[in-house]
Structure 1
Amino acid sequence: MFRRYPATMMRQSTGKLVVDVFTRGPNRTLSPVPGATVVVRERSNGTRQRQPVEALTTNDSGKTEEITLSAPPVELTQEPPQEQPYATYDIEIQAPGYTTLLIEGTQIFADTTAIQNVTLEPPGEMERQLNEIFIQPHTLWGSYPAKIPEDPIKPEPPPTGFIVLDEPVIPQYVIVHDGVPDDPNAPNYWVTFKDYVKNVASSEIFPTWPANTIRANVLAILSFTLNRVFTEWYRGKGKDFTITSSTAYDHAFFYGRNIYDSVSTIVDEIFVNYIKRPGYRQPLLTQYCDGVKVECPTWMTQWGSKNLGDQGLDAISILRSFYGQDIYLDTAVRVSGVPASFPGYNLTIGSSGAPVRTIQEQLNAISNSFPAIPKVRVDGNYGQQTADAVKKFQEVFNMPVNGIVDQPTWYRISDIYVGVTRLAELV
């Protein structure tokens, strides 16, 4: 039914896939699409196979069951690949009352779970009538323009200049220009900040790499992006976007592509952090290259970071190996677009007070759209009922399931609460 890759270490290599299907209602509020049909077909030599690998149906949360798919051996991702180190599959999503969407080229790596988020629109209402998405090759496999070097520290004008923030703040959205800066025909996409970082990291590094390597690369992506936000780099040039999808200028961003659980978990953990040099307010413009197809002696190299992760270095040590020993990590003073900031401590059974009440109220609002998440008493006391609702939320939204509201869970609940009650879009 689908290609059998050569077995490595006496086992067949496989990866996993889950598809989450959403739509946007009045005021662009977020809701799941239950009962959608999701058909998965393998691509071979760039051609879609006629025979489906799987035909799935979404549950009340808009989620398919997790399926196992054949993939090349994970060893192909541990050194610069000589053959494509991931399998590609096409995913067709149909639901009554919605435009059929075809995603071509979802990338499946061995020993990793791919998460394909999908947003369906009623007929005639899709942005630019988009009903087909083609995911470009991963940057460590395909050919893309090298980054044009820039000064990593931008001028910081006085308050009357373009910088409108005293300290870096995590934005709710970034506006991604899907092309080079001066292409007037390239579309702009509004993408939530964390979803943007997850997209870039999934496009530019392999999800099978050591966790500290992924963490170091995510911090570089975060810092670079926040520099663009903080300095209003493109706004100051008269543009109407935050950042581009061109690797020559910024990062690779592929609209509609899948992400990976290993990447998503780390982004959720550290999205409020960024890299700085002493004496500067702005996040460091952390430029990098792969270090194989392109060399960049004063920047981080992705394959070099992988080798250091293999040696057991932590993320900040990896980063200092490339950007210098004086860099350090800082934390954004505020996260935009959320009703309340993380209280600074985890909420678990026995916790009480206003933060618990906030989470209970938000979970109940989310439950109106995602009924698999049970309603809870809003009493400010974190009991088993609240813990069970948190566990279900974590399961529905592809998070580690432990029933504890830590910082990643707090902000994910906030994101979805904002999504189901006001303006939001998962990309």
Structure 2
Amino acid sequence: MDFYRKVRAQQDQVDDGTLKVSVFTEDGMRPVENALVRISYTGESGQTVDEVRTDASGQTPVLDLKTPPLEYSMEPVEEQPYAEYTIQVEAEGFENTEIAGTQVLPGVQAQQAVKMAFRAETSFERLVIGPHTLFAEYPPKIEEAEVKPVDESGEIVLSRVVIPEYIVVHDGSVNDTTAPNYYERYRDYIKNVASSEIYATWPDDTIRANILAIMSFTLNRVYTEWYWNRYKFRVGGMNK
């Protein structure tokens, strides 16, 4: 989005949403207490909207923040349907951390996790969240054949539905063998995909239907077309 559209979007804040920030150590195992959390509009980091500290659980209070009108996220429009906020976090013994582009929609609570590295030679880390896929103009999806060849012989028939604990995410094009692979928890993967493809303002049934479609598509990739071909997959646990 160009600069002027972003400015107009930030000025058109007439509804309200909420934001809760969770601050943890880099490994995600320990909450960071008494961290100073500053909230500002992205692009206006010098103008603090709110400033709070985390409690013993590393949580901030629920913050009320301005957002664009609800109707922007219910129908396709040119206006940005969410407000973008920058979160700056400081804590004794940790590197200062900044996350730019946290998206807050009207009438729902956004949750932003912040992981802080223990202080080393550097003292600042900045992460930038890209625009939502429903709003920005991303490259089209790479075309794929509806039926892909299977190079392996044999067949596995499961006696029940098995949900993997981990899946492998290939960070690049299908044919890019140099791109890294990451092991991600299945639940976290589904949550992250859903949050980038669905607006939280949508009706509950619509959100559930989309998440079921995401789950179905993912499991189809895991157990059929991609299991034998290019990717390896590990079942670290099973859920009924």
Report 1:217-236 matches (<5 A): 217-231=210-224, 233=226, 236=229
How far residue 175 of structure 1 moved from its aligned partner, in angstroms, is 2.9
Identical aligned residues as a percent = 43
Is contact 1:168–1:226 with CA below 8 Å preserved after alignment? no
Determine helix, strand or coil for the equivalent of 2:56. Answer: coil
Output the CA distance in 2 between the equivalents of 1:154 and 1:220.
Answer: 24
How far residue 98 of structure 1 moved from its aligned partner, in angstroms, is 2.1
Match of 1:175 among 136, 146, 168: 168
Report 1:377-396 matches (<5 A): none
Match of 1:135 in 2: 129
Q: Which runs of 5+ in 1 are unaligned?
A: 7-11, 243-334, 343-427
Structure 1 or 2: more helix by fraction: 1
Report 1:293-312 matches (<5 A): none
Determine helix, strand or coil for the equivalent of 1:32. Answer: coil
How far residue 136 of structure 1 moved from its aligned partner, in angstroms, is 1.0
How far residue 5 of structure 1 moved from its aligned partner, in angstroms, is 2.6
Matched, 1:204 2:197: yes
Match of 1:21 in 2: 23
Output the CA distance in 1 between the equivalents of 2:205 and 2:220.
Answer: 22
- State the AA in 2 paired with 1:136: G
Q: How many residues align?
A: 230
How far residue 4 of structure 1 moved from its aligned partner, in angstroms, is 5.1
Q: TM-score by structure 2 length?
A: 0.81
Match of 1:84 in 2: 80
Q: Could you say if the C-alpha distance between residues 139 and 15 of structure 1 is closer, same or farther in structure 2, counting changes exceeding 3 Å?
A: same
Match of 2:69 among 51, 62, 73: 73
- Cα RMSD of the aligned pairs, angstroms, is 3.3
Q: Could you say if the C-alpha distance between residues 209 and 35 of structure 1 is closer, same or farther in structure 2, counting changes exceeding 3 Å?
A: same
- State the AA in 2 paired with 1:22: F
Matched, 1:34 2:29: no
Is contact 1:22–1:30 with CA below 8 Å preserved after alignment? yes
Matched, 1:5 2:7: no
Output the CA distance in 2 between the equivalents of 1:228 and 1:69.
Answer: 39
Matched, 1:107 2:107: no
Q: Could you say if the C-alpha distance between residues 61 and 78 of structure 1 is closer, same or farther in structure 2, counting changes exceeding 3 Å?
A: same
Q: Could you say if the C-alpha distance between residues 207 and 188 of structure 1 is closer, same or farther in structure 2, counting changes exceeding 3 Å?
A: same
Output the CA distance in 1 between the equivalents of 2:62 and 2:52.
Answer: 10
Match of 1:151 in 2: 146
- State the AA in 1 paired with 2:109: T
How far residue 191 of structure 1 moved from its aligned partner, in angstroms, is 2.6
How far residue 203 of structure 1 moved from its aligned partner, in angstroms, is 0.6
Q: TM-score by structure 1 length?
A: 0.48
Output the CA distance in 1 between the equivalents of 2:136 and 2:28.
Answer: 36
Structure 1 or 2: more strand by fraction: 2
Output the CA distance in 2 between the equivalents of 1:218 and 1:112.
Answer: 18
Report 1:208-357 matches (<5 A): 208-231=201-224, 233=226, 236-237=229-230, 239=231, 336-337=236-237
How far residue 234 of structure 1 moved from its aligned partner, in angstroms, is 6.5
How far residue 123 of structure 1 moved from its aligned partner, in angstroms, is 3.7
Output the CA distance in 2 between the equivalents of 1:231 and 1:223.
Answer: 12
Output the CA distance in 1 between the equivalents of 2:34 and 2:72.
Answer: 37
Is contact 2:15–2:67 with CA below 8 Å preserved after alignment? yes
Output the CA distance in 2 between the equivalents of 1:103 and 1:124.
Answer: 19
Q: Could you say if the C-alpha distance between residues 56 and 101 of structure 1 is closer, same or farther in structure 2, counting changes exceeding 3 Å?
A: same
Output the CA distance in 2 between the equivalents of 1:41 and 1:134.
Answer: 14
How far residue 111 of structure 1 moved from its aligned partner, in angstroms, is 0.7
Determine helix, strand or coil for the equivalent of 1:131. Answer: strand
Determine helix, strand or coil for the equivalent of 1:151. Answer: coil
Output the CA distance in 2 between the equivalents of 1:190 and 1:57.
Answer: 33
How far residue 164 of structure 1 moved from its aligned partner, in angstroms, is 9.4
- State the AA in 2 paired with 1:70: K
Is contact 1:3–1:70 with CA below 8 Å preserved after alignment? no
Q: Could you say if the C-alpha distance between residues 3 and 234 of structure 1 is closer, same or farther in structure 2, counting changes exceeding 3 Å?
A: same
Determine helix, strand or coil for the equivalent of 1:222. Answer: helix
Is contact 2:170–2:180 with CA below 8 Å preserved after alignment? yes
Output the CA distance in 1 between the equivalents of 2:233 and 2:198.
Answer: 25
Is contact 2:95–2:124 with CA below 8 Å preserved after alignment? no
Q: Could you say if the C-alpha distance between residues 188 and 153 of structure 1 is closer, same or farther in structure 2, counting changes exceeding 3 Å?
A: closer
Output the CA distance in 1 between the equivalents of 2:25 and 2:153.
Answer: 42
